[in-house]
């Protein structure tokens, strides 16, 4: 979670930059870290901070894989489906996760914990099949290990916090 | 065992520290060059060493630096391409995690060669760990006087920062990467002007791959001839960090002389084929290269030898397929990647790649027709007319499929199913 001081330091960085727009991805990522995803309001905020128009931010936000314009879960699982992972069972990993979490690719669990997304080669071809969870790489995976990782995340403090947030409609940032 | 240069300080569980890098001769090149050599001399050494770009395009680094005019304006930029999004490629991640100061010294030297005062490492979001290592070690290098103002009292100043990408394959393309760095949508731009004339913020910009930059300290310390002698072939120079993956027993990164035989990499270093499988084909250098097959099993892996068989060494990321792998399905997977990652800027790429994907999908699912094969050949040719190198790269494995595995395609069409799947 982004704190106020981090937002302030970002503002200082923007003021000090010769070309503020070079920080566009950092700013979008910081707003996303604070809000969980980059909302319409977040796009407007980024535009204001950088002195760019909202449409310029939008054309970046919709271009990049790791900027989420829709609400996502606390843990975003990116499943590598490129050729080396594919050869070593990426489809099985994906199918298992969809079944275990009860969602399809591109969806978020109702408790707001997990989002499943495909991703192209993540550069861990020496440890296949591999996935990313909140940008941390896991691999080589077996179904058993995958289950242990998911269970571990379900029972973490972060997960309890997310569940409390999901139960409080005022704070709820997730659809459904 | 061949000499280890770029990976000599690699440890199983941690990076090499500044002290460890220095014990292996690190920053000696920088000290000596700043004391005694002019930037033109540095460029000449790199040119003589025939240091070819390791990011895939194999453009001579020395030539690229020479294209920065003597009277070119300031500030000048040096960009390190650590985007590494070519499927199958993970050598740059390994290099950064092994010995970050090697890259930092390489960048300082490259910057000196073209009188650049600003350096940027453009890194993909999946490599957040590597980004943090670099930020920390850049600070340590600055403290030690190897970066920042007036490096080692030479009067040369060079600042280095890390730029995190939002994640998209096209950002690895030079001009797209410059757009990305400027906070613009990363579509490629067609030269001229070339980046070395008008690059980042319209200023002269030299962009090099991580591995290319990592070679530079060693070349300047040991000389151009030493570097050329590292290769096994007359046409090659230096070592190559090969990343091998797929159906082999020990996937990983192996630093081997340029020109080493494919069969030697697979058998001696990658531990041979997995579970007694048989070698059927491989991609020699990422998703945008063509297939090598049984007839190329003993090929010498260097830029020239691969060019001679109509292929490319690319990034040296070798992905190995065995006899149970359906080459139509493998190619379909590769083209799915390109269809998803196309930036959509030009029509041949945006429309042509999904068209190829649909035809391959029909063949793979048993709905293909004999006319699909000539149709694919025709569309592949059109894709060479796209705006940048993305589409020609995307069709490389498709053209490989058409050249070497037409029989497999025909078997799919005749049997109305994938022969590799049980009935």
Mean pLDDT within A12-40: 96
What integer pLDDT is reported at residue A172 of this predicted model? 38
Give the Cα-Cα-Cα angle B41, B44, B49 (nearest 5 degrees).
Answer: 130
Mean pLDDT within B374-402: 97
What integer pLDDT is reported at residue A6 of this predicted model? 67
Least Cα separation, residue A173 to chain B (angstroms):
22
Share of chain B above pLDDT 90, in %: 99
pTM: 0.96
Share of chain A above pLDDT 90, in %: 82
Mean pLDDT within B182-210: 97
- Sorting pLDDT into bands at 50, 70 and 90, what band is A160? confident
**DSSP element (H, E) containing A39:** none
Mean pLDDT within B245-262: 98
What integer pLDDT is reported at residue A5 of this predicted model? 65
What integer pLDDT is reported at residue B1 of this predicted model? 84
Size of interface A-B (CB pairs under 8 A): 126
Q: What is the CA radius of gyration of chain A?
A: 18
Does A81 sit within 8 Å of B333, measured CB to CB? yes
Does B243 sit within 8 Å of A22, measured CB to CB? no
**Which of B205, B194, B215 minimizes the C-alpha distance to B53?**
B215
Mean pLDDT within A24-37: 96
Do residues B160 and B119 lie in contact, with contact meaning Cβ atoms separated by under 8 Å?
Answer: yes
Does A66 sit within 8 Å of B167, measured CB to CB? yes
Among positive and negative, which fits the CA dihedral B42, B48, B54, B60?
A: positive
**Which CATH number is associated with domain B18-229?**
3.40.50.11540
What integer pLDDT is reported at residue A175 of this predicted model? 33
pLDDT tens sequence across B269-281: 999 999 889 999 9
- Sorting pLDDT into bands at 50, 70 and 90, what band is A134? very high
A22 near B CB under 8 A: yes
Residue B119 has pLDDT above 90, yes or no: yes
Give the Cα-Cα-Cα angle A130, B282, B338 (nearest 5 degrees).
Answer: 60
Can you give chain B as a three-state secondary structure string?
CCCCCCCCCCCCCCCCCHHHHHHCCCCHHHHHHHHHCCHHHHHHHHHHCCCECCCCCCCEHHHHHHCCCCCCCCCCEEEEEECCCCCCCCHHHHHHHHCHHHHHHHHHHHHHHHCCCEEEEEECHHHHHHHHHHHHHHHHHHHCCCCECCHHHCCCCEEEEEEECCCCHHHHCHHHHHHHHCCCCCCCCCCCCCCCCCCHHHCCEEEEEHHHHHHHHHHHHHCHHHHHHHCCCCCCCCEEEEEEEECECCCEEEEEECCCEHHHHHHHHCCCEHHHCCEEEEECCCCCCCCEEHHHCCCECCHHHHHHCCCCCCCCEEEEEECCCCHHHHHHHHHHHHHHHCCCCCHHHHHHHHHHHHHHHHHHCCCCCCCHHHHHHHHHHHHCCCCCCHHHHHHHHHHHHHHHCHHHHHHHHHHCCCCCCCC
**DSSP element (H, E) containing A77:** strand A75-80
What integer pLDDT is reported at residue B130 of this predicted model? 98
Mean pLDDT within A149-153: 96
A67 near B CB under 8 A: yes
- Class of the CATH domain delimited by B231-322: alpha beta
Q: What is the CA radius of gyration of chain B?
A: 22
pLDDT tens sequence across B133-153: 999 999 999 999 999 999 999
What integer pLDDT is reported at residue A10 of this predicted model? 84
Do residues B243 and B253 lie in contact, with contact meaning Cβ atoms separated by under 8 Å?
Answer: yes
Residue A98 has pLDDT above 70, yes or no: yes
d(CA A66, CA B368): 36
What integer pLDDT is reported at residue A157 of this predicted model? 74
pLDDT tens sequence across B232-242: 999 999 999 99
Does B333 sit within 8 Å of A67, measured CB to CB? no
pLDDT tens sequence across B313-356: 999 999 999 999 999 999 999 999 999 999 999 999 999 999 99
Does A86 sit within 8 Å of B169, measured CB to CB? no
What integer pLDDT is reported at residue B422 of this predicted model? 75
- Class of the CATH domain delimited by B327-415: mainly alpha
Residue B297 has pLDDT above 90, yes or no: yes
- Interface mutation target, options B98, B126, B246, chain A, most CBs of A under 10 Å: B126
d(CA B82, CA A15): 27
Does B334 sit within 8 Å of A125, measured CB to CB? no
d(CA B180, CA B271): 40
Least Cα separation, residue B397 to chain A (angstroms):
12
A47 near B CB under 8 A: no
For residue B77, give every residue at least 6 positions away whose Cβ sits within 8 Å of its Cβ, in sequence order, or none: B116, B118, B119, B120, B199, B200, B201, B203, B204, B205, B206
Give me the residue spans of the domains in chain B. Answer: 18-229, 231-322, 327-415
Residue B423 has pLDDT above 70, yes or no: no
d(CA B370, CA B412): 10
Q: How many CB atoms lie within 10 A of CB A176?
A: 10
Pairing of strands B239-246, B317-322: parallel
Mean pLDDT within B346-371: 97
Mean pLDDT within B72-100: 98
Q: How far is CA B152 from CA B30, B108, B139, B287, B410, in A?
A: 9, 12, 15, 43, 65
Residue A169 has pLDDT above 70, yes or no: no
Among positive and negative, which fits the CA dihedral B71, B76, B78, B83?
A: negative
What integer pLDDT is reported at residue A170 of this predicted model? 44
Give the residue from chain B lying closest to A29, CA to CA: B166
Residue A174 has pLDDT above 60, yes or no: no
B168 near A CB under 8 A: yes
A91 near B CB under 8 A: no
**pLDDT mean across residues, chain B:** 97
Residue numbers in B near A63 (CB within 8 A): 166, 168, 185-186, 343
Share of chain A above pLDDT 70, in %: 88
- Sorting pLDDT into bands at 50, 70 and 90, what band is A4? low
Mean pLDDT within A80-88: 97
A50 near B CB under 8 A: yes
ipTM: 0.95
For residue B378, give every residue at least 6 positions away whose Cβ sits within 8 Å of its Cβ, in sequence order, or none: none
């Amino acid at each position: 979670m982004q704190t106020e001081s981090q937002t302030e330091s970002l503002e200082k960085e923007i003021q000090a930059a010769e070309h503020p727009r070079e920080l566009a991805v950092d700013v979008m990522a910081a707003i996303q870290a604070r809000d969980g995803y980059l909302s319409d309001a977040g796009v407007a905020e980024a535009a204001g901070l950088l002195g760019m128009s909202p449409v310029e931010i939008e054309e970046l936000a919709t271009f990049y894989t790791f900027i989420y314009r829709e609400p996502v879960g606390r843990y975003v699982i990116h499943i590598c489906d490129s050729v080396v992972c594919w050869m070593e069972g990426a489809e099985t990993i994906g199918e298992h996760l969809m079944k275990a979490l009860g969602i399809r690719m591109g969806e978020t669990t109702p408790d707001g914990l997990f989002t499943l997304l495909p991703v192209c080669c993540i550069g861990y071809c020496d440890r296949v099949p591999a996935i990313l969870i909140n940008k941390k790489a896991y691999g080589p995976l077996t179904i058993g290990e995958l289950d242990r990782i998911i269970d571990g995340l379900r029972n973490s403090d972060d997960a309890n916090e997310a569940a409390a947030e999901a139960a409080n409609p005022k704070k709820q940032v997730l659809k459904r | 065992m061949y000499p280890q240069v770029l990976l000599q300080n690699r440890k199983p569980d941690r990076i090499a520290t500044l002290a460890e890098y220095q014990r292996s001769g690190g920053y000696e090149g920088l000290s000596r060059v700043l004391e005694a050599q002019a930037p033109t001399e540095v460029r000449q050494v790199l040119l003589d060493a025939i240091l070819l770009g390791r990011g895939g395009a194999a453009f001579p680094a020395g030539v690229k630096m020479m294209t920065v005019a003597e009277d070119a304006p300031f500030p000048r930029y040096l960009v390190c391409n650590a985007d590494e999004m070519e499927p199958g490629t993970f050598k740059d991640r390994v290099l950064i995690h092994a010995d970050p100061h090697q890259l930092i010294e390489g960048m300082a030297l490259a910057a000196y060669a073209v009188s650049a005062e600003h350096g940027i490492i453009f890194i993909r979001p999946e490599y957040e760990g590597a980004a943090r290592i670099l930020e920390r070690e850049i600070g340590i290098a600055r403290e030690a006087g190897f970066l920042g103002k007036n490096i080692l009292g030479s009067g040369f100043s060079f600042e280095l920062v890390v730029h995190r990408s939002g994640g998209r394959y096209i950002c690895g393309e030079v001009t797209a990467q410059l757009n990305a760095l400027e906070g613009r949508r990363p579509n490629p731009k067609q030269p001229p002007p070339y980046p070395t004339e008008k690059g980042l913020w319209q200023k002269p910009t030299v962009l090099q791959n991580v591995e290319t930059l990592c070679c530079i300290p060693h070349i300047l310390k040991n000389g151009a001839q030493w570097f050329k002698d590292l290769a096994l072939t007359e046409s090659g120079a230096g070592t190559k960090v090969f990343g091998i993956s797929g159906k082999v027993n020990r996937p990983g990164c192996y630093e081997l002389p340029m020109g080493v035989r494919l069969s030697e990499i697979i058998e001696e270093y990658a531990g041979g084929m997995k579970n007694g499988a048989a070698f059927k084909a491989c991609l020699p250098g990422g998703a945008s290269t063509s297939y090598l097959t049984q007839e190329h099993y003993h090929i010498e892996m260097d830029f020239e030898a691969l060019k001679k068989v109509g292929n490319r060494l690319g990034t040296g990321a070798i992905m190995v397929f065995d006899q149970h792998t359906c080459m139509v399905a493998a190619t379909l997977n590769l083209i799915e990647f390109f269809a998803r990652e196309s930036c959509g800027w030009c029509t041949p790429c945006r429309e042509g790649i999904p068209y190829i994907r649909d035809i391959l999908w029909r063949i793979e699912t048993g709905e293909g027709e004999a006319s699909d094969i000539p149709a694919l050949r025709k569309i592949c040719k059109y894709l060479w007319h796209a705006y940048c190198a993305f589409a020609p790269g995307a069709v490389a494995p498709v053209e490989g499929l058409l050249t070497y595995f037409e029989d497999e395609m025909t078997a799919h069409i005749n049997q109305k199913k994938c022969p590799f799947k049980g009935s």
